[in-house]
Every structure is written in structure tokens, then in C-alpha cells.
Amino acid sequence: MVIIEREHAGRRAAAPETVAAVGRLQELFVWKNGEVRSGRDAVSVWDHGLLYGDGIFEGIRLRDGWLYRPDLHFVRLRRSAAIVGLDIDLTDDELLRGIAAVAEANRLRDAHVRVVCTRGVGLPGLDPRRCIEPTVYILAYPFPPYLGETALSVIVSNVVRKSPRSVDAAVKSLNYLDGILAKMQANAAGAGEALMLDGEGFLAEATAANVFVIRDGELQTPLPTACLAGVTRRTVLELARELGVATHERRLSVGDLYAADEAFLTGTAAGIVPIGTADGRRLRFTPGPVTTQLVEAYAATWHDPQYAVEVVPADARPEVT
């Protein structure tokens, strides 16, 4: 297959397989304010989520009908909403039922689930009082590990991660432009992912994943001051402690990454992905022993009732073709 690329100031014609996959996404059902409906035209062009990025979201994994740590995702969703002053008029049970309904409507047992809450439709003008009421969408769609399953090359971007002085990085907002600009730098450099620094130059996180380094058998990750407090990050810290690995949440420099024995990224969409090189410098082990142990321990939690909830019961599961 010939893929024609037109490079004009960063613009590129989409690959045919991307066009086809987007076409399939358009056929999926979505959940909007309590109703399962076609995803086509589900969003109004007057929604402030589109006009101003005024909204927040969560990304949750559904694996074989089991939803991973929904309680933690719902707590973060409500915290993001509280910080930006959005009311989510839904209980956790209603959210779980909405997720189950949309997964079943789309005949999915493995999916990335996205709960998106926007300020809703309103008059143009960014004052939230110009909107009628918040809108909640739930999407469920196939999504293989976002960063692939092999070791990543990362670059350190010069795009500064959102600072607590603007939009707190703890808010999982509909504004990802810092990450998108950093990702474009990684693409241009031929790297798999970009890491962003905080306003003071310490490691913050990747564009949609947290970062960990291992040095002398100890696991270290940046404090959640300029990064999202990831659910996978928290899980990995908990599992490491259970495995007897010392953990530290602290400031980390780019030098700490270069000098690491092992390093990896974590995220709901990405899973746990080892870093192979950072700015072209090869890490000592990829994946190293600690990373390998954590990858195995993490996978062992996916269907453990302490971590996951079965929302699409076995007998309701459609055959996956």
C-alpha cells in the first residue's frame, strides 16, 4: 500500500487505514445524558467543550468485561469537575450503568472508556453562565495499548507541562495542547513519546502517561504537582510496596532519567511501557528486572475484584468476532 504524505507546515494527509478506522468509530453508539444513541452528530457545535475546551474527562480500561478501578477514576472525575466548577449530577452507580450500556451497545468486552463532561451548549462567550446545563458523554471503543508494546524512545520536550498557576495538571481537562505540541516534537524527532518538564525544569510526565525511573532497585516518580495523579501510577506504587521495592515520590531531573537503570511510562491507555532510550541515550536495562516484575503484578490485578468490577457479565457478553 502506498501512503501518500503531504508535509506542509506539519500537515499530513491521514493514512488510509486511519481514515477507515475513524469511519468505524463513527458507527459506534455513545451515551449522552442518560441515553444510548448514535455517535454521529451527538455533539453540538455550540457545546463549550468544543468552543473553549470547557470540560473534563476520564479514561478507564474495560478488559474482558471488567472495569479497572472505577472508584478511583470517579473520584478523580469529581475532583476535576469540582476544580473547574462543573456539577456532575450522576451517582457512581449511574455512571457504571451508563458504561455497561454503551459497552454492550457496541458489543465490546475490551475497550477504552471515556467519560466526558462538558459545560454544555451555550451562547458564545466563555462565561459558563452562558451555558444551559452540563453534558455527559460516555464513549467505549477499541483501543490497543496506545504507545505500543515495545521499548520506547523518548525525547525531553521544551514544552512546559501545565503549571498549578494556570490549569492545575491534576485536572484532566479537555485541553491537551501542551501534550499535543510535545507529541509533535517527538514525531518530528522520530521518537515514540515526549516527556515534559515542570516550570522549574524537573521531570513532570509524558503527554498522556506518568514517568518512573529505577535506580539501585528503588522506584522513583515525580510528585503529582505538575503531572496527573495517574491511577496506573498509584497502582504501580502500591504494587511496588507490596513487592518490597522502595518507592519515592520526589523531584527528578533529566539527569536522573539519563542515569536510571530502568525507566517506564504508565497510563490507562498505555499500560506500563519500558523506556529504551531518552534523548538518544540508551538506558542500562530495557525492560529491567523491576519493570518486568511490576508489569506482571499489574496484569495480575486486571480481573481481581479488589481492583476491578465486572460491568459486562459473562452471560451478557456478546460474541466478539
Q: Which residues are catalytic?
A: 172
> In the bound complex, what is the minimum distance in angstroms from residue 88's beta carbon to ligand PLP?
18
- Asked if 210 and 267 touch (Cβ cutoff 8 Å), the reply is yes
- Toward ligand PLP, which CB reaches closer, 49 or 122? 49
Cell of 62: 474495560
Q: Quickly count: other Cβ atoms within 10 Å of residue 160's Cβ.
A: 17
Please state whether the peptide bond connecting residue 313 to the residue before it is cis, i.e. omega within 30 degrees of 0.
no
Report the residue from 122, 174, 233, 272 that binds ligand PLP according to the rule CB under 6 A.
233
- Toward ligand PLP, which CB reaches closer, 105 or 229? 229
Q: Quickly count: other Cβ atoms within 10 Å of residue 150's Cβ.
A: 11
Judged by CB under 6 A, does residue 178 bind ligand PLP? no
Judged by CB under 6 A, does residue 210 bind ligand PLP? yes
Judged by CB under 6 A, does residue 222 bind ligand PLP? no
- Toward ligand PLP, which CB reaches closer, 112 or 215? 112
Cα separation, 45 vs 24, in Å, equals 22
Report the residue from 152, 228, 272, 290 that binds ligand PLP according to the rule CB under 6 A.
228
Residues facing 60 on adjacent strands: 113
> In the bound complex, what is the minimum distance in angstroms from residue 298's beta carbon to ligand PLP?
11
Judged by CB under 6 A, does residue 232 bind ligand PLP? yes
Identify the CA nearest to 210 among candidates 223, 200, 201: 223
Cα separation, 221 vs 294, in Å, equals 14
Stretch that binds ligand PLP, among 26-34, 93-101, 231-239, 305-313 (CB under 6 A): 231-239
- Asked if 41 and 286 touch (Cβ cutoff 8 Å), the reply is no
Interhelix angle 231-242/70-84, rounded to 10 degrees, is: 140
Report the residue from 86, 100, 101, 208 that binds ligand PLP according to the rule CB under 6 A.
208
Report the residue from 55, 59, 192, 287 that binds ligand PLP according to the rule CB under 6 A.
59
Cα separation, 223 vs 232, in Å, equals 14
Mark residue 64 as left, alpha or beta (left: phi above 0; alpha: psi -120 to 50; beta: remaining): left
Which residues ranging from 242 to 281 are in contact with ligand PLP (CB under 6 A)?
266-268
Judged by CB under 6 A, does residue 286 bind ligand PLP? no
- Toward ligand PLP, which CB reaches closer, 143 or 285? 143
Report the residue from 47, 104, 193, 205 that binds ligand PLP according to the rule CB under 6 A.
205
Cα separation, 83 vs 166, in Å, equals 12
Cα separation, 208 vs 235, in Å, equals 16
Judged by CB under 6 A, does residue 173 bind ligand PLP? no
Judged by CB under 6 A, does residue 295 bind ligand PLP? no
**Contacts to ligand PLP by CB under 6 A:** 59, 179, 205, 208-210, 227-228, 230-233, 266-268
